[in-house]
């Protein structure tokens, strides 16, 4: 099986034996398989910062696993996810931005903008991996 590049700490366990990626991102499990064998997979889904790639800014995106997260002014105005939304998952991340602790309320990028409010994926001046 292939471990995603965004998942350090990815592992697979079967029969009490834990396997981790070798040769890059692959986990090879050699064993005599039996009907009913189950593989337990651990995939860390920590929120992390990813630079936007534009060398002229210091903006970062906040991501969880493969999901890009966004801020949305409708969430801030409503104190949480508005009742009219079709998604119901809200993440919170406290970071230092410009030396000041800030709490970001985040939804997946796919859910952002439902109420035609402003939303953002990139955030400026967040200290590198500075979760509080």
* 56-103 confidence digits (pLDDT tens): 888 999 999 999 999 999 887 767 888 888 888 999 999 998 889 999
Please report the pLDDT score of residue 129 as a whole number. Answer: 62
> What's the predicted TM-score (pTM) here?
0.80
Please report the pLDDT score of residue 84 as a whole number. Answer: 83
DSSP state of 22: B
Query: Which stretches does DSSP call E strand in the chain?
Result: 11-14, 17-19, 40-42, 47-51, 60-64, 67-72, 91-97, 100-108, 119-120, 122-123, 126-131
The larger pLDDT score, comparing residue 73 to residue 24, is at 73
In angstroms, rounded to a whole number, what is the distance separating the alpha carbons of residues 15 and 87?
A: 37
Query: Is it the case that residue 33 has pLDDT exceeding 90?
Result: yes
pLDDT in tens, 35-58: 999 999 999 898 999 998 888 888
Query: Is it the case that residue 5 has pLDDT exceeding 70?
Result: yes
The larger pLDDT score, comparing residue 6 to residue 23, is at 6
Query: Is it the case that residue 131 has pLDDT exceeding 60?
Result: no
Please report the pLDDT score of residue 22 as a whole number. Answer: 84
Cα–chain center distance at 43: 11
Please report the pLDDT score of residue 132 as a whole number. Answer: 45
């Amino acid at each position: 099986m292939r471990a995603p590049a965004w998942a350090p700490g990815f592992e697979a366990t079967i029969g009490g034996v834990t396997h981790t990626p070798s040769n890059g991102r692959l986990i090879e499990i050699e064993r005599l398989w039996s009907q009913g064998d189950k593989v337990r997979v651990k995939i860390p889904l920590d929120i992390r910062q990813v630079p936007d790639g534009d060398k002229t800014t210091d903006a970062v995106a906040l991501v969880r696993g493969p999901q890009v997260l966004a801020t949305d002014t409708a969430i801030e105005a409503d104190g949480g996810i508005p009742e009219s939304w079709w998604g119901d998952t809200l993440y919170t991340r406290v970071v230092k931005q410009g030396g000041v602790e800030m709490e970001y309320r985040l939804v997946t990028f796919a859910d952002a903008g439902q109420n035609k409010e402003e939303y953002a994926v990139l955030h400026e001046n967040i200290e590198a991996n500075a979760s509080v």
